[in-house]
Amino acid sequence: MMNKIALLFFSILTINSCTHSNLVTPKNACYILFDAGSSGTRLYVYEQNNTQLIEHVGPKVAALADPVRRLNGKTSTDIEYVTDQVVATLDLIKTDGSFDDSRQKWTGFDWRSQCNLVSAKVYATGGMRIAEQENAGDSLVLWQSLQPKLVAKVGENVMVETRTITGFEEGLFAWLSLKDEYPSNDFGIVEMGGASSQITFPCADCDPANDAVNTINLSGKPIQIYSYSYLGLGQDEAPHSLSLPYANTIPANCAFGIGSTHDDWAEAKCADDILITANGSKTAIRDPYNYDSTGTRGTTNTLPLFQKDIPQWSLTGAFNYTKETDIESCCINQSDTCYHPATACFTPIYLNKYLQTLSIMPKEADKNDVSWTRGAVVCETENCLAPIKKAPVCRWAAKGCLIH
């Protein structure tokens, strides 16, 4: 009798256990990715829901490079504070952010309770490239401070990576972020960041010996990609890197409201003083902060002729914030709607001339407001970099990539 009761009790426990497990909804895989750009560090969490990547945008804190570059009041003594801030956003995103100008800063998403976390990465771009170039020692200290803090926050079973990505990767990730918009993959992107600008497009006929050319894996198929990053051509650095000649100051013809005091002013006068190409060439685009093969800072890069075969271009990054009225508002007038007056006239004229140099017509190109972080997760899920056998190319470093 006792054996029958015990068997009945065990059967009930088993049924309850199976019923409970069937009711538990499996958690989606999630990927944490920090965009450590020149203007700040933004948290993104990507949730994989079947074939869809759901983007959860989190808080933005100080630029990772600020304490290394001594910007925005930060010095090397702020390294610990800045890395603490970055990791702390993982707690902040769990609840709704506050409101700013009637807009909520972010919508809460509790990744710890709602996700099976696969990876957590901090990927730095142009601002950190300049930081590593200017001060490799403090940059190393920063990365060594950040890595263990992130591991402690997400757990040792989660893959953690903290580094400055190459220009090839940054352009590729931006391109991948748009692959659902262009299923044929027959498109190119021009991305405008704060410190750098990336140009990326598929190029089956490009010379594979070119160190800006690599074959990646996409949807199980190989595709050869050209991707180059011009360090110093980002909209925040260009006023300093492209002025006459390396003068580190805005040309007088590009001053805020110049047209209000000079009746004969024309856009061309400012454009002529923005030296995007070198030595009178129409194709050798200046790469102001990267190193050439001899170890000299400041070089040029000519895009492959096959760039002209790309049927559709997409403009991303800062291009999304430009308006056709910018030149009139900020060069001819002195509108209070102009962001950062010191460069408000220079920037729209620079962006126009940059696209002209690339033989891209702005009115024929698409604008897409996407983050390259999405493309980085697409690359991770598809293991897109697996076919690449070449060593990473860190053009910003005279002695090669910073190892930490």
Structural domains in the chain plus CATH codes? 28-164 (3.30.420.40), 168-367 (3.30.420.150)
pLDDT, position 244: 57
pLDDT at position 22 over 50: yes
pLDDT, position 40: 95
Runs of H (alpha helix) within 52-117: 66-69, 79-92, 111-114
pLDDT, position 378: 97
Binned at pLDDT 50, 70 and 90, residue 25 comes out as confident
pLDDT at position 354 over 70: yes
Mean pLDDT on 353-359: 96
Taking residue 231's Cβ as centre, other Cβ atoms within 10 Å add up to: 27
Residue with the two structure tokens 């990336």:
198
pLDDT, position 52: 92
Mean pLDDT on 187-210: 97
Mean pLDDT on 285-297: 94
The pair of structure tokens assigned to 336 is 């209070």
Per residue in 215-262, pLDDT (tens digit) is 999 999 999 999 999 999 999 999 999 875 545 578 999 999 999 999
pTM for this entry: 0.91
Instruction: Give me the residues paired with residue 243 across strands.
Output: none
CB 319 within 8 A of CB 192: yes
pLDDT at position 18 over 90: no
Helix, strand, coil shares of the chain, percent, nearest 5, are 35, 25, 40
- Alpha carbon separation from 332 to 257, 324, 339, 347 (Å, rounded): 5, 13, 15, 14
pLDDT, averaged across the chain: 92
Task: Return the minimum-mean-pLDDT range out of 23-37, 171-185, 305-319.
Answer: 23-37
pLDDT, position 239: 93
pLDDT at position 173 over 80: yes
pLDDT at position 37 over 70: yes
- Alpha carbon separation from 13 to 9, 23, 24, 227 (Å, rounded): 6, 15, 17, 59
pLDDT, position 8: 46
Per residue in 118-148, pLDDT (tens digit) is 999 999 999 999 999 999 999 999 999 999 9
Mean pLDDT on 266-271: 96
pLDDT at position 9 over 60: no
